[in-house]
Amino acid sequence: MNFPASIMGQFPSCTKSVTVRVDGTVIRLKQKGEVTVNGVELKDLPAWVNGVYIKRASSLFIMGEETLKPILQ
Protein backbone atom coordinates (compact mmCIF):
# COMPACT_ATOMS: atom_id res chain seq x y z
CA MET A 1 0.00 0.00 0.00
CA ASN A 2 1.39 3.34 -0.92
CA PHE A 3 -0.06 5.72 1.64
CA PRO A 4 1.65 9.02 2.51
CA ALA A 5 4.03 8.68 5.47
CA SER A 6 1.93 11.13 7.49
CA ILE A 7 -0.97 8.68 7.71
CA MET A 8 0.90 5.35 7.75
CA GLY A 9 0.18 4.80 11.44
CA GLN A 10 -3.54 4.60 10.68
CA PHE A 11 -3.43 1.85 8.06
CA PRO A 12 -2.01 -1.67 7.87
CA SER A 13 1.06 -2.08 5.71
CA CYS A 14 2.45 -4.91 3.67
CA THR A 15 6.17 -5.57 3.18
CA LYS A 16 7.03 -5.75 -0.52
CA SER A 17 10.15 -7.88 -0.07
CA VAL A 18 12.78 -9.04 2.39
CA THR A 19 16.38 -9.49 1.29
CA VAL A 20 18.74 -11.80 3.18
CA ARG A 21 22.45 -11.93 2.35
CA VAL A 22 24.42 -14.96 3.53
CA ASP A 23 28.05 -15.53 2.50
CA GLY A 24 27.59 -13.88 -0.90
CA THR A 25 24.20 -15.45 -1.60
CA VAL A 26 21.27 -13.04 -1.97
CA ILE A 27 17.87 -14.50 -1.03
CA ARG A 28 14.83 -12.33 -1.68
CA LEU A 29 11.38 -13.20 -0.31
CA LYS A 30 8.83 -11.26 -2.34
CA GLN A 31 5.09 -10.70 -2.41
CA LYS A 32 2.83 -13.43 -3.81
CA GLY A 33 5.18 -16.11 -2.47
CA GLU A 34 8.00 -15.46 -4.93
CA VAL A 35 11.53 -16.37 -3.86
CA THR A 36 14.70 -15.53 -5.79
CA VAL A 37 18.26 -16.68 -5.12
CA ASN A 38 20.91 -14.49 -6.75
CA GLY A 39 18.20 -13.20 -9.10
CA VAL A 40 16.98 -16.65 -10.19
CA GLU A 41 13.44 -17.65 -9.21
CA LEU A 42 13.23 -20.60 -6.80
CA LYS A 43 10.09 -22.61 -7.57
CA ASP A 44 10.43 -25.74 -5.43
CA LEU A 45 9.83 -25.25 -1.70
CA PRO A 46 10.89 -26.22 0.88
CA ALA A 47 14.54 -25.71 0.06
CA TRP A 48 17.90 -25.25 1.78
CA VAL A 49 19.91 -22.36 0.35
CA ASN A 50 23.36 -21.72 1.84
CA GLY A 51 22.26 -22.68 5.37
CA VAL A 52 18.85 -20.99 5.16
CA TYR A 53 15.73 -23.18 5.21
CA ILE A 54 12.99 -21.59 3.11
CA LYS A 55 9.46 -22.94 3.33
CA ARG A 56 5.89 -21.98 2.66
CA ALA A 57 4.45 -21.23 6.14
CA SER A 58 0.90 -20.94 4.74
CA SER A 59 -0.81 -20.15 1.46
CA LEU A 60 0.07 -16.48 2.06
CA PHE A 61 3.45 -16.53 3.82
CA ILE A 62 6.99 -17.64 3.00
CA MET A 63 9.41 -18.21 5.88
CA GLY A 64 13.19 -18.37 6.02
CA GLU A 65 15.04 -19.86 9.00
CA GLU A 66 18.77 -19.67 9.60
CA THR A 67 20.72 -21.52 12.25
CA LEU A 68 23.26 -19.11 13.65
CA LYS A 69 26.56 -20.75 14.49
CA PRO A 70 28.81 -19.20 17.12
CA ILE A 71 32.34 -18.35 16.05
CA LEU A 72 34.88 -19.41 18.66
CA GLN A 73 38.23 -17.69 18.69
Q: How far apart are CA 60 and CA 72, in angstroms?
A: 39
What secondary structure does DSSP assign to the chain, as a single string? ----GGGGGGS-----EEEEEETTEEEEEEGGG-EEETTEEP-SSSEEETTEEEEE-SSS-EEEEE---PPP-
Residue 10: which pLDDT band, with cuts at 50, 70 and 90?
Answer: low
Closest residue by Cα to residue 31 from 66, 1, 65: 1
Tens digits of per-residue pLDDT, 37-48? Answer: 999 999 999 999
Tens digits of per-residue pLDDT, 16-71? Answer: 889 999 889 999 999 888 999 999 999 999 999 988 999 998 888 888 888 777 77
The pTM of this model reads: 0.72
Closest residue by Cα to residue 67 from 49, 53, 47: 53
